[in-house]
């Protein structure tokens, strides 16, 4: 079977075109999903042991962030630092899709410091992703009452509608 170079070129161009269209459609769907997903937020601390978890989180190594945060909780931290660790643990667990564990960590952060807007925002994100839209909206409203200027809260408010 002889296939002309012209036919091969047309076939390659058509294949490339359709692959590009499919790739563009997949990228658009991924961007839409990312844009409609709530954000988690981690906090820094003045304590090195706390910041190891924060750094791992910001680098995208969520398993390491969880491990560092759990280690930090064993170090006899002050309440303010424990709050940050629990919040960061919530963010890392939530990002991993471990929503029940994330919500539990946020609950602990809020027990220690009921004015931690990041913990409310993170718990809202975890609740939203776990399917509890009502609780998510209540949590984000609590976060807004504490800090109505934080861009993370505004972003999540827009996601929740």
| pLDDT, averaged across the chain | 84
Q: Is the pTM of this model over 0.85?
A: no
Residues near 68 by Cβ (< 8 Å), separated by ≥ 6?
49, 52, 53, 56
Q: Domains in the chain, ordered, with CATH?
A: 48-160 (1.25.40.10)
- Model confidence at 15: pLDDT above 90: no
- Model confidence at 4: pLDDT above 80: no
Residues near 101 by Cβ (< 8 Å), separated by ≥ 6?
93
The model's pLDDT over 90-111, given as tens digits with 9 standing for 90+, comes to 999 999 999 999 999 999 999 9
The model's pLDDT over 51-69, given as tens digits with 9 standing for 90+, comes to 999 999 999 999 999 999 9
Angle at 86 between CA 112 and CA 140, to 5 degrees: 80
Tell me, what's the pLDDT at 19?
36
């Amino acid at each position: 079977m002889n296939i002309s170079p012209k036919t091969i070129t047309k076939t390659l161009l058509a294949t490339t075109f359709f692959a590009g269209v499919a790739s563009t459609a997949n990228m658009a769907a991924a961007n839409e999903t990312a844009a409609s997903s709530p954000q988690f937020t981690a906090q820094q601390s003045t304590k090195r042991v706390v910041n190891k978890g924060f750094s791992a989180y910001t680098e995208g190594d969520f398993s390491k962030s969880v491990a560092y945060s759990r280690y930090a909780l064993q170090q006899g931290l002050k309440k303010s630092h424990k709050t940050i660790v629990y919040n960061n643990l919530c963010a890392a667990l939530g990002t991993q899709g471990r929503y029940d564990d994330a919500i539990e960590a946020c609950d602990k952060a809020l027990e220690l410091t009921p004015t931690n807007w990041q913990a409310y925002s993170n718990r809202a994100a975890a609740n939203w992703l776990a399917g509890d839209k009502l609780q998510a909206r209540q949590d984000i409203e609590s976060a807004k009452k504490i800090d109505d200027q934080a861009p993370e809260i505004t972003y999540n408010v827009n996601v929740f509608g």
